[in-house]
Homo-oligomer: A and B are copies of this chain.
Amino acid sequence: MAEARPRVAIVGAGFGGLACARKLDGEPLDVVLLDQHNYHLFTPLLYQVATGLLNPSDIAYPLRTIFRHSPNVRFRQATVTRVDLASKLVRLDASPPLSYDYLVLATGSTDNYFGNQEVARVSLGLKSLEDATRLRNHVLTCLERADAEPDPEARRALLTFVVVGGGPTGVESSGALIELMEIVAGKDYHQISRAEIQVVLVEGTDRVLNAFSVRLGRYAQRVLMKRGVAVRTGALVKSANGHSVTLSDGTAIACATIIWSAGVRPSDPVGEAPLPRFRNARIEVDPWMRIPGAPGAFAIGDAASPRVGDRELPMLSPPAMQAGRYVARTIVDAVRGLQGEREPFHYVDKGTMATVGRNAGVTHLPGGLEFTGFLGWLTWLFVHIYYLIGFRNRISALGSWAWDYVRHDRPIRIILASSAAPKRV
């Protein structure tokens, strides 16, 4: 039955790929959704897993469950090794290649260390659930070690956490870290005083939250500093090793933890195909999100952008989701034989937001409306609950947030070190 239907291969089940697959649910198409993980990950809350507030399962939703009742969308957990645009094949690591009629490339992005291997080696990223649990283990292990360490220099390094990059991820991570430290220093860890702990946020430009207005950026910086984060603007990371990080102005900071949120680069399995790309390696698609010279192939999200004026679409979830739905409609129109060129993709900015921590958020709405503080935080909270997938995950996250808010707690402070791959299979 499905044999006769055109096949859509969606590579990547992030915000873009998932939105596309949902829009294609129930259409006369054979949709195969591929991802290396068996869950959709709500990446904006990774830092809350890393700081012991949420469980990994709160922000990860099994993809098979989402499409449980779908007659035409199949999920497959697989690693895509290469996409062959000319022969319309998706090559997989452990099974025969998958042919497609339509391709939606939605492979997202990974951390960008701008070629600095040493920084990459010693830094902890925050792009995957593995990253988040690894960071949680790392931070808690630093506290354990510091608690038992008599040498003041070594203690100081173990208790210094450097966050690189003052975008939303960096601001939210450093805000969450300082809150975690406030909760545990002198309490869970009797030997550690709050004064020994440093959280440093390093940002290359002259202010944090660059993508927001000057007013919102200043507000966020003020709140972070008032809560104890040392904000170093106008500073880049020049080098780093296992014991310290050196900034562009020559300052060396002894630290055991470097959290990287200074940049991402697109990640796609298209290989050597000579595609037009932006300077940051993002595929430059046409205004209809089509990959030039690749019939039936689209690319969306962090992996690709059309040229919008002289810029690109931002690497955020809303443009990815909107493009996913747009491309889905294009494919449906095509298989239904609807004629006529569609309108080019148009991104509708519905606003951006970030939280600095308890009672403090920044929200920017289109038209210039902005708010900060408690209202900004509340907006952030409800928007994130709304976009979390699954009733249970929403209840669980809301419950955790309520607990945290009332009890000033970060309850999930377990070091679960291996968790490990399957033994065989």
From residue A77, how far is it (CB to closest CB) to chain B in Å?
A: 5
Query: Which residue of chain B lies nearest to A142 when distances are taken between CB atoms in the complex?
Result: B425
Within 58-96 of A, Cβ neighbours of B (below 8 Å) are at 60, 62, 64-65, 68, 74, 76-78, 95
* A256/B424 contact (C-beta < 8 A), A38-B144, A129-B416, A418-B130 known: yes
**A252 at the binding interface (Cβ < 8 Å):** no
Cα distance, A392 to B256, chains bound together (Å)? 31
Within 114-167 of A, Cβ neighbours of B (below 8 Å) are at 122, 124, 129-130, 133-134, 137-138, 140-142, 144-145, 147-148, 158
Query: Are the CB atoms of B420 and A419 closer together than 8 Å?
Result: yes
Partner of A55 from the list B55, B145, B422 (CB cut-off 8 Å) is B55
Query: Are the CB atoms of B415 and A77 closer together than 8 Å?
Result: yes
**A242 at the binding interface (Cβ < 8 Å):** yes
A242 surroundings in chain B (CB, below 8 A): 424
Tell which of A184-192, A214-222, A262-270, A341-349 binds the partner. A184-192
Partner of A421 from the list B57, B392, B412, B417 (CB cut-off 8 Å) is B417
**A423 at the binding interface (Cβ < 8 Å):** yes
**A361 at the binding interface (Cβ < 8 Å):** no
Cα distance, A249 to B414, chains bound together (Å)? 44
Query: Which residue of chain B lies nearest to A403 when distances are taken between CB atoms in the complex?
Result: B392
Cα distance, A423 to B142, chains bound together (Å)? 11
Query: What is the predominant secondary structure among interface residues of chain A facing chain B?
Result: mixed
Query: Are the CB atoms of A68 and B148 closer together than 8 Å?
Result: no
Cα distance, A76 to B146, chains bound together (Å)? 11
**A56 at the binding interface (Cβ < 8 Å):** yes
Query: Are the CB atoms of A133 and B420 closer together than 8 Å?
Result: yes
**A411 at the binding interface (Cβ < 8 Å):** yes
Cα distance, A74 to B399, chains bound together (Å)? 30
Cα distance, A416 to B190, chains bound together (Å)? 33
**A37 at the binding interface (Cβ < 8 Å):** yes
* A425/B38 contact (C-beta < 8 A), A416-B130, A417-B420 known: no
**A42 at the binding interface (Cβ < 8 Å):** no
**A39 at the binding interface (Cβ < 8 Å):** yes
Cα distance, A170 to B55, chains bound together (Å)? 27
**A413 at the binding interface (Cβ < 8 Å):** yes
Query: Which residue of chain B lies nearest to A158 when distances are taken between CB atoms in the complex?
Result: B425
Query: Are the CB atoms of B424 and A130 closer together than 8 Å?
Result: no
Partner of A419 from the list B133, B399, B409 (CB cut-off 8 Å) is B133
Cα distance, A55 to B53, chains bound together (Å)? 13
Query: Are the CB atoms of B414 and A62 closer together than 8 Å?
Result: yes
Q: Which residues from chain A sit less than 8 Å from chain B, CB to CB?
A: 37-39, 55-57, 60, 62, 64-65, 68, 74, 76-78, 95, 122, 124, 129-130, 133-134, 137-138, 140-142, 144-145, 147-148, 158, 184, 187-190, 242, 256, 390, 392, 395-396, 399, 403, 409, 411-425
Q: A242-B424, A417-B422 are in contact. List 9 more A-B contacts (CB 8 A).
A: A38-B140, A60-B414, A64-B189, A64-B413, A122-B423, A122-B424, A134-B423, A392-B411, A417-B421
- Provide 24 A-B residue pairs closer than 8 Å at the C-beta atoms, listed in order of the A residue: A38-B140, A38-B414, A39-B414, A39-B415, A57-B412, A57-B414, A62-B414, A74-B190, A76-B144, A122-B423, A122-B424, A124-B423, A129-B414, A130-B418, A130-B419, A133-B416, A137-B421, A138-B425, A141-B422, A141-B425, A142-B422, A256-B424, A392-B403, A396-B399
